[in-house]
């Protein structure tokens, strides 16, 4: 019994490897039947059928009914689209960020979630920017930045729980209460934008809006940041309106056509 358990991870890895091999076979041949796939993998037909079934459940393969063969499914397109969106994001967001920086006259950034933090991948300065601080590649806390809050508002349970367990204080205004942050995230989802008022650095405010990929998933956030005396809390709703328009444009440029 103990020996069987010890082998389980190796068996699981082998199954994953074979499933990926099936995708490679279908990508190369276009179509293939269970018998062909089993022969290519050197496994019993029942094993090949079980693996194909698992891929079919995820819509990664689909059956060509009239011929009884299989081909790559729409799920592959969805995964490819998500990857393409992330790869295209810096290029497609650049002109929109430039326009927003001109309209708002502050620093505009695009950030993605990366290993439990928000990482900035695009940055454009407004002419009134009091600093030329480079945020590109900088990883910032999710709960203390406007982009981070937006990403967290639409994050999966694991990412949310991890963030809620590490609410470090950076300024007197940083939210360190789980219940308060959860309530604010609900408001962000309702309003479609988030903000911070001197929560990461004293004197620095920011507003952000979500960017969606072709599947409608929030994969990034576009934000504007500036000194608290200029980017005031009172101005947040107006700024958020402009950011939401920009975020919608970026989203459409990477394949999102939802409402």
Is residue 99 a part of any domain in this protein?
A: yes
Q: Domain for residue 92, yes or no? A: yes
Within-domain flag for 78 = no
* pLDDT score of 5: 46
Closest CA to 213 of 139, 154, 157: 154
Extended beta strands in the chain, E state: 61-64, 69-72, 107-114, 117-124, 139-141, 194-197, 204-212, 218-227
Q: Which of 72, 96, 117 is the last residue of a domain?
A: 72
Whether 149 contacts 143, CB under 8 Å: yes
Same domain for 51 and 105?
A: no
Same domain, 147 and 243: yes
Average pLDDT over residues 198-216: 95
One domain for residues 57 and 127:
no
- pLDDT score, position 138: 80
Handedness of CA 134, 149, 194, 83 (dihedral sign): positive
Across residues 98-114, what is the average pLDDT?
94
Q: Please write the tens of the pLDDT for every residue from 139-148.
A: 899 999 999 9
- Domain's final residue, options 72, 99, 125: 72
Q: Please state the domain count of the chain.
A: 2
At 67, the pLDDT band (50, 70, 90 cuts) reads: low
40 within some domain:
yes
The predicted structure's pLDDT at residue 212: 95
Q: Which among 191, 189, 226 is positioned nearest to 206, based on CA atoms? A: 226
Kindly state whether residues 236 and 134 are assigned to the same domain. yes
Q: Classify strands 107-114 and 218-227 as parallel, antiparallel or unpaired.
A: antiparallel
CATH of the domain at 16: 1.10.10.10
Q: Which two three-digit tokens encode residue 204? A: 């620095």
Whether 27 is in a domain gets the answer yes
Other beta carbons within 10 Å of 111: 29
Q: How large is the greatest C-alpha to C-alpha distance in the chain, in angstroms?
A: 70
Identify the pLDDT of residue 258.
75
Q: With bands split at pLDDT 50, 70 and 90, how would you rate the model's confidence at 66?
A: low
Looking at the structure, tell me whether residues 15 and 131 fall in a common domain: no
Both 59 and 105 in one domain: the answer is no
For residue 171, being part of any structural domain is answered with yes
Confidence of residue 3 (pLDDT cuts 50, 70, 90): very low
Residue 176 covered by a domain: yes
Closest among 96, 101, 122 to 253, alpha carbons compared? 96
Q: Which of 73-87, 119-133, 150-164, 221-235 reaches the highest mean pLDDT?
A: 221-235
Domain, as residue range, for 94? 84-253
Structure tokens at 154: 């639409």
DSSP 61-94: EEEETTTTEEEE-HHHHHHHHHHHHHHHHHHHHH
* 95 shares its domain with 208: yes
Residue 43 φ then ψ, to 5°: -130, 170
Give the pLDDT confidence of 25-38 residue by residue, as tens digits.
988 888 899 999 99
Tell me what pLDDT residue 87 has: 64
Alpha-carbon dihedral angle through residues 63, 67, 69, 75, given to the nearest 10 degrees? -30
* Within a domain: 259: no
pLDDT for the residue numbered 115: 82
Q: What is the mean pLDDT of the chain?
A: 88
Residue 176, domain CATH: 3.30.450.40
For the cut 70, the answer to whether the pLDDT of residue 203 exceeds it is: yes
Domain end: 72, 103, 123, which one?
Answer: 72
* 41 pLDDT above the threshold of 80: yes
Same domain, 88 and 66: no
Q: Where are the beta strands (DSSP E) in 84-217?
A: 107-114, 117-124, 139-141, 194-197, 204-212
- Same domain? For 179 and 235 the reply is yes
pLDDT at 80: 63
* Angle subtended by helix axes 34-41 and 45-57, to nearest 10: 110
Q: Are residues 40 and 16 in the same domain?
A: yes
130 versus 195: the higher-pLDDT residue is 195
Task: Please report how the helices 157-164 and 178-191 are oriented relative to each other, as an axis angle in degrees rounded to 10.
Answer: 140
Q: Are residues 65 and 115 in the same domain?
A: no
The answer to pTM > 0.85 is: no
Domain identity same for 93 and 180? yes
When pLDDT is averaged across residues 202-222 and rounded to a whole number, the result is 95
How far apart, in whole angstroms, are the C-alpha atoms of residue 41 and residue 138?
44
**CA–CA separation, 19 and 43 (whole Å):** 12
CB contact at 8 A, 124 and 98: yes
Q: 9-23, 44-58, 80-94, 135-149 — which is least confidently predicted?
A: 80-94
């Amino acid at each position: 019994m103990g020996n069987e358990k010890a082998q389980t991870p190796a068996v699981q890895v082998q199954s994953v490897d074979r499933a990926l091999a099936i995708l490679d076979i279908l990508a190369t041949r276009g179509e293939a039947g269970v018998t062909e796939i089993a022969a290519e993998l050197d496994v019993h037909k029942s094993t090949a059928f079980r693996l194909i079934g698992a891929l079919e459940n995820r819509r990664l393969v689909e059956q060509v009914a009239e011929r009884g063969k299989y081909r790559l499914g729409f799920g592959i397109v969805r995964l490819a689209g998500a990857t393409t969106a992330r790869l295209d994001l810096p290029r497609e967001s650049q002109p929109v960020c430039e326009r927003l920086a001109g309209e708002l006259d502050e620093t505009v950034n695009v950030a993605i979630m990366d290993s439990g933090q928000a990482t900035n991948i695009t940055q454009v300065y407004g002419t009134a920017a009091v600093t030329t601080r480079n945020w590109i590649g900088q990883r910032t806390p999710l709960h203390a930045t406007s982009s981070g809050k937006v990403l967290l508002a639409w994050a999966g349970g694991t990412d949310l729980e991890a963030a809620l367990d590490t609410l470090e204080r950076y300024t007197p205004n940083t939210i360190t209460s789980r219940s308060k942050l959860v309530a604010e995230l609900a408001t962000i989802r309702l309003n479609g934008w988030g903000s911070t008022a001197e929560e990461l650095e004293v004197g620095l405010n920011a507003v952000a809006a979500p960017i969606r990929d072709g599947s409608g998933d929030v994969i990034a956030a576009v934000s504007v940041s500036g000194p608290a005396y200029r980017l005031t809390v009172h101005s947040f709703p107006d700024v958020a309106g402009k950011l939401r328009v920009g975020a919608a444009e970026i989203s459409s440029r990477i394949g999102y056509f939802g409402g």
